[in-house]
C-alpha cells in the first residue's frame, strides 16, 4: 500500500460521516462479491468517493420516485462495477434492500452481475458490454436537449437535467465510445458529464500491455472540455470539478479521475487480482482493518450512515415537489404542450390514423420497399411528435428523412432528423437511450452493416424496448456493390436474436402497414429489412389490413387442397406468385404464403399456424434471397429452402439472382410438384 493510499479523512477533506459512508460502499462491495464468489470488487472500492459525491451531493434524484421526469440520469458504462451503484442506490433509499445486496448475482435477485433496466430501481439502462453506456449517455443527453427544445418556454424550463456516466479504461478502448463521444462533441451536448476511471488495470494486468492513449487529448479533439482530478482528491475538489463541468453549456465534459483499484487492500490494491475476483476472507479482514472499519459482521450499514442519507431522500422529495409546482404553472399557460409532454413521458401511445388513410400504390406499380418505408414515415410523422431518427450517413439511400422537419444541428436540437455520421454502433446505443427517454427513435443503415451495431441491437432486445432499426439493401439485389455489401446471413442472424421483431415486407403496401403496426405498439425492438430494388405492388384487395400482425398469412390460395405451399418473404413473395402461376398452368395446386415475420408467426397459436401451414401438407418450399438457414422449421423434412447459401458477387442484380438463388444444398427431396416449383422459381428469378 502506498503512502497516497493512507490518506486520512482530514487529508481528503472528508468529515467522519463522509469517510464512514464511503467505506460503507467499499465494504458492501467487498462483502457482496465475496458471498457470491463472483464479481468485481476493485473498481467499486476505488470509485466509492465519486459515487458517494454523485448520489449524496450532486445528482438531482428522488429515491422515492425513481421515474421522476426531470431527474438527472446516471449511466454506469463500466457495468462490471455495479456494486458501486447498488450500494449507492441502497444507501440513498431506493427500493433495494440489504437483503437484495446479499443476494448479489443470485437467481432472481434484484442485484444482477451487471445493471439491468426494468429490473432494479434506479437503473436507467442495461450496461455491461464495455462502451455501450457511453453511447447510451450520449443518447440520454441528446434526448434531454431535444425535449428541452421542444417543450421549454421562458419561465417554464420543465426539461432541465444532466446526464452523468462513468467509463473505465476498457470503455475507452472500445470503438463505440469514440464514435459516440465524437458525435457528442460535435453536437455540443453541454449537459453531458463523463468520468473516466483511470485505474490503469485490466483483467490481464496493467493497461500498459496494450493501451497508452492520451485520453485528454482525444476528448479535447472531439470538442469536449476536459477536467483532471488528482489521485485521492478531496470530496470538495470532486464537487468543484463537477461544478466546473456544469458551468460549461456549449460542450460536454470529461472528468479524468485517477483511482486505485481495490483502494485500501494491503495486497490486492493496484493489481489485476482485484478486478474480477473476490478479495478473499483474509484480505477483506485486512482491508477493513486498514480502512478503520470497526464492524465485524459483513453487510453492515452503520446507523449514522443511514441517518446521514435521510437528507438525500428529503432533498429528492423537495426537488420533485418544486418541479411539480413548476409544471403545474407551465400546464396552465401551455396546456397543449403539457398534455403532449405528459403523454410522452408516461409512454402513452399516440392516436394513429387508420390504415384506410395510408399512402396508396397502384397494383403492378414498381416501388422499392425502402421508398415505401419513407412514405410511411412521412405520413405518420405529424401524428407522432416524438418520432425522431436518422441514419449512418445514408438518409437518401435508406429513405429515412422526415421531409417536413429540420435536422438536429450543433447547439440546435429542435429538429427531428438526426445525422449520426458513419457511426453505426454508437447510433444503436443512442437510439436505445432516446427510446428509453420516451421518444420513438429509429436508426438506419444498410442491412449488411447491422453487424457493426449488433451489440446495441442485442441490448435493445434484452431490455425489451421499442427501438426501431431500419435496414435497407436487404439482399443480393444490391447488385454491383458486390459481396461485401450484399447481406446473405444477416436476416437469419437477426431472427435468431430473442425479443427482436424482424420484418421483411413483400411490397409497398405491406411496408406501410408494418410501420403503422410497429408505431402503435410498445415493447420489443423492431428491425426492418427493406429492398433496394423496385418490387411490384401486389393486389391486397382480399387481404385484411391487420394480416401482417400475424407474421404470416395466405396471400393466394388454390382451388381445393394445395399440393404444395410456397413461403416467401420480402422481394421473393412476388417471385412465388409468378412461380405459382406456372405451376397452376401445369395443373399443380399451390398456396402462396407471405411471411414477413417468422418470429411473429411463431407466436401465434397452433390453430392459426396450422391454418396457414396445415400439418398434412408436407411439401413446402421457402423462398428468400438469403441463407436458407432456419427455414427447416417451416418447410419440414418433405420440403426445402430456395435461397442464397453462398456470398454474392459484383454484377447487376439480375445476374446474381440467376447464379446465386439456388435450392438448399444437400436436399434430397424430389417430389414432382416441388421439383417443378424449383425450376419455375429459378426461371422467374432470371
Residues 6+ apart with CB under 8 A from 316: 60, 61, 62, 63, 64, 65, 68, 92, 93
Cα-based torsion angle of the residue sequence 612, 617, 618, 619 in order, rounded to the nearest 10 degrees: -90
Residue in 424, 510, 524, 563 annotated catalytic: 424
Task: Please state, in angstroms and rounded to a whole number, the distance separating the CA atoms of residues 42 and 263.
Answer: 7
Please, where are the H alpha helices in 122-262? 132-151, 169-173, 175-187, 215-222, 235-246
Of 449, 460, 470, nearest to 497 (Cα)?
Answer: 460
Active site residue 424: yes
Task: Please state, in angstroms and rounded to a whole number, the distance separating the CA atoms of residues 76 and 93.
Answer: 19
- The pair phi, psi for residue 206, each rounded to 5°, is -70, 150
Please, where are the H alpha helices in 231-292? 235-246, 281-290
Q: Which residues make beta-bridge pairs with 529?
A: 471
Longest dimension (CA), the chain: 93
- The pair phi, psi for residue 226, each rounded to 5°, is -115, 130
- Which residue spans within 512-634 are E strands per DSSP? 526-529, 534-536, 553-556, 564-568, 590-594, 620-623
Please give the C-alpha separations between residue 42 and each of 31, 175, 200, 267, 545, in angstroms, as whole numbers.
12, 24, 12, 12, 56
Of 479, 480, 461, nearest to 469 (Cα)?
Answer: 461
Task: Please state, in angstroms and rounded to a whole number, the distance separating the CA atoms of residues 508 and 511.
Answer: 5
Task: Please state, in angstroms and rounded to a whole number, the distance separating the CA atoms of residues 265 and 620.
Answer: 66
Residues 6+ apart with CB under 8 A from 221: none
Task: Please state, in angstroms and rounded to a whole number, the distance separating the CA atoms of residues 360 and 368.
Answer: 14
Sign, Cα dihedral of 317, 318, 324, 327: negative
Task: Please state, in angstroms and rounded to a whole number, the distance separating the CA atoms of residues 324 and 552.
Answer: 47
| Structure-block grid coordinates of residue 401 | 428523412
Q: Which residues make beta-bridge pairs with 366?
A: 536
Contact 198, 212 (CB under 8 A): no
Strand bridging mode 553-556 / 590-594: antiparallel
Residues 6+ apart with CB under 8 A from 440: 384, 386, 387, 388, 466, 468, 519
Give catalytic residues, as residue numbers: 424
Amino acid at each position: 500500500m502506498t503512502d497516497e493510499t493512507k490518506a486520512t479523512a482530514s487529508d481528503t477533506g472528508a468529515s467522519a460521516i463522509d469517510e464512514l459512508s464511503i467505506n460503507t460502499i467499499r465494504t458492501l462491495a467487498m462483502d457482496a462479491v465475496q458471498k457470491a464468489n463472483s464479481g468485481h470488487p476493485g473498481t467499486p472500492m476505488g470509485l466509492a468517493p465519486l459515487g458517494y459525491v454523485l448520489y449524496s451531493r450532486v445528482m438531482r434524484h428522488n429515491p422515492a420516485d425513481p421515474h421522476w421526469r426531470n431527474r438527472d440520469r446516471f449511466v454506469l458504462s463500466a457495468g462490471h462495477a455495479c456494486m458501486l451503484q447498488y450500494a449507492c442506490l441502497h444507501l440513498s433509499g431506493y427500493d433495494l434492500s440489504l437483503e437484495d445486496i446479499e443476494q448479489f448475482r443470485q437467481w432472481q435477485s434484484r442485484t444482477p452481475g451487471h445493471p439491468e433496466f426494468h429490473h432494479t430501481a434506479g437503473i436507467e439502462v442495461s450496461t455491461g458490454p464495455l462502451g455501450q453506456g457511453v453511447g447510451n449517455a450520449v443518447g440520454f443527453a441528446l434526448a434531454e436537449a431535444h425535449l428541452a427544445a421542444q417543450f421549454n418556454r421562458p419561465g417554464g424550463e420543465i426539461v432541465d437535467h444532466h446526464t452523468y456516466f462513468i467509463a473505465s479504461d476498457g470503455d475507452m478502448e472500445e470503438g463505440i465510445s469514440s464514435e459516440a463521444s465524437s458525435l457528442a462533441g460535435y453536437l455540443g451536448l453541454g449537459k453531458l458529464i463523463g468520468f473516466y476511471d483511470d485505474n490503469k488495470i485490466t483483467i490481464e494486468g496493467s493497461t500498459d500491455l496494450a493501451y497508452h492513449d492520451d485520453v485528454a487529448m482525444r476528448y479535447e479533439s472531439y470538442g469536449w472540455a476536459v477536467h483532471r482530478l488528482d489521485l485521492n482528491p478531496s470530496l470538495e475538489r470532486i464537487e468543484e470539478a463537477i461544478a466546473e463541468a456544469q458551468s460549461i453549456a456549449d460542450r460536454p465534459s470529461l472528468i479524468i479521475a485517477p483511482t486505485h483499484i481495490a483502494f485500501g487492500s494491503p495486497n490486492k490494491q493496484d493489481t489485476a487480482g482485484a478486478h474480477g475476483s473476490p478479495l478473499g476472507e483474509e484480505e477483506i479482514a485486512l482491508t477493513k482493518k486498514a480502512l478503520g472499519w470497526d464492524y465485524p459482521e459483513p453487510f453492515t450499514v452503520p446507523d449514522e450512515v443511514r441517518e446521514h442519507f435521510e437528507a438525500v431522500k428529503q432533498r429528492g422529495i423537495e426537488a420533485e415537489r418544486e418541479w411539480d409546482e413548476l409544471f403545474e404553472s407551465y400546464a396552465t399557460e401551455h396546456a397543449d404542450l403539457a398534455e403532449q409532454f405528459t403523454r410522452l413521458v408516461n409512454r402513452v401511445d399516440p392516436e394513429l390514423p387508420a390504415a384506410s388513410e395510408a399512402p396508396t400504390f397502384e397494383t403492378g406499380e414498381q416501388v422499392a420497399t425502402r421508398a415505401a418505408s419513407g412514405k410511411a414515415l412521412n405520413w405518420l410523422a405529424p401524428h407522432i411528435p416524438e418520432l425522431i431518427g436518422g441514419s449512418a450517413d445514408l438518409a437518401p439511400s435508406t429513405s429515412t428523412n422526415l421531409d417536413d422537419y429540420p435536422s438536429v444541428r450543433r447547439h440546435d436540437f429542435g429538429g427531428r432528423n438526426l445525422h449520426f455520421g458513419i457511426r453505426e454502433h454508437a447510433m444503436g446505443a443512442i437510439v436505445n437511450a432516446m427510446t428509453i427517454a420516451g421518444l420513438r427513435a429509429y436508426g438506419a443503415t444498410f442491412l449488411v452493416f447491422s453487424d457493426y451495431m449488433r451489440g446495441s441491437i442485442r441490448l435493445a432486445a434484452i431490455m425489451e424496448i421499442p427501438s426501431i432499426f431500419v435496414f435497407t439493401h436487404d439482399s443480393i439485389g444490391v447488385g454491383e456493390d458486390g459481396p461485401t455489401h450484399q447481406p446473405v446471413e444477416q436476416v437469419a442472424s437477426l431472427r435468431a436474436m430473442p425479443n427482436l421483431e424482424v420484418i421483411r415486407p413483400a411490397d409497398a403496401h405491406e411496408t406501410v402497414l408494418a410501420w403503422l403496426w410497429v408505431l402503435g405498439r410498445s415493447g420489443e425492438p423492431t428491425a426492418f429489412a427493406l429492398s433496394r430494388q423496385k418490387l411490384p405492388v401486389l393486389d391486397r384487395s382480399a387481404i385484411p389490413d391487420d394480416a401482417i400482425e400475424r407474421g404470416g398469412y395466405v396471400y393466394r390460395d388454390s382451388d381445393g387442397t394445395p399440393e404444395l405451399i410456397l413461403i416467401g418473404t420480402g422481394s421473393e413473395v412476388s417471385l412465388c406468385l409468378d412461380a405459382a402461376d406456372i405451376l397452376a398452368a401445369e395443373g399443380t395446386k399451390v398456396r402462396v404464403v407471405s411471411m414477413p415475420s417468422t418470429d411473429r408467426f411463431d407466436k401465434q397459436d397452433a390453430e392459426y399456424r396450422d391454418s396457414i401451414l396445415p400439418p398434412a401438407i408436407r411439401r413446402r418450399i421457402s423462398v428468400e434471397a438469403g441463407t436458407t438457414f432456419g427455414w427447416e422449421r417451416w418447410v419440414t423434412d418433405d420440403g426445402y429452402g430456395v435461397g442464397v447459401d453462398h456470398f454474392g458477387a459484383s454484377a447487376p442484380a439480375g445476374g446474381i439472382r440467376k447464379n446465386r438463388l439456388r435450392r438448399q444444398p444437400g436436399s434430397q427431396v424430389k417430389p414432382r410438384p416441388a421439383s417443378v416449383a424449383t425450376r419455375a422459381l429459378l426461371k422467374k428469378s432470371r
